[in-house]
């Protein structure tokens, strides 16, 4: 047995020697190299290592996005960052528990403005005013910084990335576009005629809404439908104008794919062509534009009687009071707001930069499509930005529920619009009274008092 082994080894060694011997011999012609040495400098870059940093985030939760964060976005950061994506419920529970126990494991938080607005008042977030001034060169718009103060004189988070919601359109739908309608400046009436035309001609309901469990449909009501028709969100909730908006949706619903109540990320249904036109968050449409940039159009949302209402989404970075790696946490936030990292973030996960960057030429065609639609939408002459709910503390979920329930009652269960609005108005007002939340744009300023439903 041993003899056999020795033989095999000898054979292998001789084969490799033979192979080496067979390599072509290359004789390099002598080169004349002129070297001028003027100075010898020993370069020893300072070795910075921020150690272990735990980053808990309600954003970039889908597996592919989380992998991009770990593998690409954090690649050049000098430190060992553990990125933990977490659902909103457990996210808040974990920080609440850590603050209560006064024992922290989490150093940096990534979340939406709405998440932070429930945490600042509870003394869970550090005051980042000092960090804010050290990041002054980033060019983050003051409007975003103001929002990050959560109605106080302190800064509780650093704006990190932004997104919004747009329409994605399969080019096959264009031949059904009603005459005279401009696809880049649609109105709600155009959209109705368009979707009806498709249904009448093909027999299929080809519009899609993310009305499933984790779909973001409530944002359509809060930031698009209600403000477009009524010019407000809370104050005009039960107005006749808002009722017209709900009537529009009720009339529109027959042209919406009835599987919408199972849809969460519209890119899936766009790619498998269950729908041709869909409204969703840019990050949830990205795969469709990335996969088939030639087949899809990204266009601004439709305009209603009161304007082209849309909801900008702002995500931020904060440090919990129980952070154990302060220097590392601040360095990570500074790193994530660097212009080139912001561009990487846009390229990898489809969230748009919050800092001033030149629109990068090397992002993919799909992202470019989205970016152009976002710019067009924000810059439209009738643009009406409707901000995410503010000051609702831990009642944000109840606020969303009012809109979801209104939709379920009116559109899915076919109940009378005014009756439903009058019922839900009471719940909405009780939420505003309980939190004392002042009105936010586009509702008129309530001068510090709780916003009132008219």
Partner 1 sequence: MNARRLKQLTPYLLLLPSIIFLFIFFAFPMVNAFTLAFQSDAGEWTLEHFSTMVNDVAFAQAFRTTLLLLVIIIPVQFALALIMALLIQSKLKFSGLFLYIYSIPLGISELAAGIVWFAIFTERGYLNTVLTGLGILEKPFIFLSYQNTGWLLFAVVVAEVWRATSIVMVILVAGLQSIPSEFLEAADVFGATLWQKVWQVILPMLKPSLQVALILRTILAFQVFAVAMAVAGRGVTLLAAEAYRWYGTYRNPHVAAAYAVLILTLSIVSTALYVWGLRTPEEQTL
Surface-to-core class of residue 337, CB atoms within 10 Å of its CB (0-12 exposed, 13-18 middle, 19+ buried)? buried
Per-residue x/- track, 229-258, partner 1 (CB under 8 A)? ----------------------------xx
Please name every residue paired with 352 in a beta bridge, in sequence order, or none if there are none: 162
DSSP state of 73: I
Stretch that binds partner 1, among 72-80, 155-163, 171-179, 407-415 (CB under 8 A): 407-415
Least gap, CB of 250 to partner 1 (angstroms): 14
Instruction: Tell me: does residue 51 bind partner 1 (CB under 8 A).
Output: no
Binding mask 212-231 for partner 1 (x = CB under 8 A): xx-x----------------
- Decide: 165 and 308 in contact? Cβ < 8 Å: no
Q: How far is the CB of 274 from partner 1 (least distance, A)?
A: 5
89 binds partner 1 (CB under 8 A): yes
Task: Report how far residue 420's alpha carbon sits from residue 141's, in angstroms, rounded to the nearest whole number.
Answer: 40
Q: Which residues from 173-212 bind partner 1, rule CB under 8 A?
A: 203-204, 211-212
Whichever of 14 and 262 has its CB closer to partner 1, that residue is 262
Q: Name the 3-class secondary structure at 235.
A: coil
Phi-psi region of 60 (alpha: psi -120 to 50; beta: other; left: phi over 0): left
Using the rule CB under 8 A, which residue among 96, 149, 244, 259 binds partner 1? 259
Residue 421: closest CA among 215, 239, 203? 239
Query: Of 244, 261, 441, 446, which lies in the binding site for partner 1, with binding defined by CB under 8 A?
Result: 261
Asked whether position 267 contacts partner 1 by CB under 8 A, the answer is no
Backbone φ, ψ for residue 43 (5° rounding):
-95, 115
263 lies in the site for partner 1, by CB under 8 A: yes
* CA atoms of 159 and 314, how far apart (whole Å): 7
Any idea which residue has 């509702």 for tokens?
A: 443
Show contacts with partner 1 in window 360-399 (CB under 8 A): 394-398
For residue 121, the minimal CB distance to partner 1 (Å) is: 15
φ and ψ of 335, to 5 deg: -60, -45
* Distance separating alpha carbons of residues 105 and 322, to the nearest angstrom: 8
Considering the complex, state which of residue 215 and residue 312 has its C-beta at the smaller distance from partner 1. 215
425 sits near partner 1 (criterion: CB under 8 A): no
Q: Per-residue contact track with partner 1, 268 to 287, x per CB under 8 A? A: ----xxx-------------
Phi/psi of residue 302, each to 5°?
-75, 160
Contact residue for partner 1 among 82, 88, 295, 382 (CB under 8 A): 88
Q: How far is the CB of 213 from partner 1 (least distance, A)?
A: 5
SS3 57: strand
The two tokens of residue 102 are 């006064």
Asked if residues 184 and 297 have their Cβ atoms less than 8 Å apart, the reply is no
**Least distance in Å: CB of 52 to partner 1?**
29
* Residue tagged 């973030």 (tokens): 345
**347 forms part of the interface with partner 1 (CB under 8 A):** no
d(CA 446, CA 427): 19
What residues does 318 pair with on adjacent strands?
109
**By the rule CB under 8 A, 105 interacts with partner 1:** no
CB-nearer residue toward partner 1: 7 or 122: 122
Q: Single out the residue of 9, 143, 412, 426 in contact with partner 1 (rule: CB under 8 A).
A: 412
Q: Bridge partners of 280?
A: 166
Contact 108, 333 (CB under 8 A): yes
Q: How far is the CB of 392 from partner 1 (least distance, A)?
A: 10
408 binding partner 1? (CB under 8 A) = yes
Residues that bind partner 1 (CB under 8 A): 87-89, 92, 203-204, 211-213, 215, 257-264, 272-274, 394-398, 400-401, 405, 408-409, 412
């Amino acid at each position: 047995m041993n003899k056999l082994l020795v033989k095999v080894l000898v054979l292998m060694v001789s084969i490799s020697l033979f192979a080496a011997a067979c390599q072509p011999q290359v004789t390099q012609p002598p080169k004349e190299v002129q070297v001028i040495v003027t100075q010898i400098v020993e370069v020893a870059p300072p070795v910075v290592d921020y150690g272990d940093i735990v980053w808990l985030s309600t954003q970039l939760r889908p597996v592919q996005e989380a992998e991009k964060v770990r593998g690409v976005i954090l690649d050049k950061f000098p430190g060992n960052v553990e990125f933990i994506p977490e659902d909103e419920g457990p996210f808040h529970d974990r920080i609440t528990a850590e603050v209560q126990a006064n024992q922290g494991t989490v150093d940096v938080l990534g979340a939406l403005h709405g998440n932070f607005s429930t945490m600042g008042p509870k003394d869970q977030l550090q005051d980042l005013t000092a960090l804010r001034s050290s990041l002054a060169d980033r060019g983050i718009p003051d409007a975003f910084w103001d929002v990050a103060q959560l109605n106080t004189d302190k800064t509780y988070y650093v704006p990190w990335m932004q997104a919004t919601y747009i329409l994605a359109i399969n080019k096959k739908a264009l031949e059904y576009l009603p005459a005279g309608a401009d696809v880049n400046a649609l109105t709600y009436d155009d959209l109705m005629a368009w979707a009806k035309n498709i249904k009448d001609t093909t027999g299929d309901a080809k519009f899609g809404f993310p009305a499933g469990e984790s779909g973001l449909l409530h944002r359509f009501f809060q930031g698009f439908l209600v403000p477009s028709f009524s010019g407000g969100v809370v104050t005009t909730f039960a107005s006749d104008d808002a009722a017209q908006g709900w009537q529009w949706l009720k009339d529109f619903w027959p042209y919406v794919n009835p599987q919408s109540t199972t849809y969460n990320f519209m890119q899936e249904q766009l790619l498998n062509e269950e729908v041709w036109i869909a409204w969703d968050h840019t990050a949830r449409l990205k795969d469709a534009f990335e996969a088939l940039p030639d087949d899809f159009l990204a266009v601004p949302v439709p305009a209603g009687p009161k304007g082209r209402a849309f909801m900008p989404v702002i995500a931020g970075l904060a440090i919990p009071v129980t952070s154990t790696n302060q220097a590392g946490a601040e360095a990570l936030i500074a790193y994530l707001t660097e212009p080139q990292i912001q561009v990487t973030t846009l390229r990898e996960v489809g969230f748009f930069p919050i800092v001033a960057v030149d629109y990068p030429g090397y992002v993919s065609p799909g992202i470019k499509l989205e970016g152009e639609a976002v710019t067009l939408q924000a810059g439209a002459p009738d643009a009406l930005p409707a901000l995410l709910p503010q000051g609702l503390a831990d009642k944000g979920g109840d606020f969303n529920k009012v809109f979801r329930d209104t939709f379920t009652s009116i559109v899915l269960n076919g109940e009378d619009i005014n009756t439903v609005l009058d019922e839900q108005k009471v719940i909405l007002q009780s939420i505003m009274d309980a939190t004392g939340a002042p009105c936010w744009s586009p509702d008129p300023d309530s001068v510090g008092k709780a916003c009132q439903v008219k």
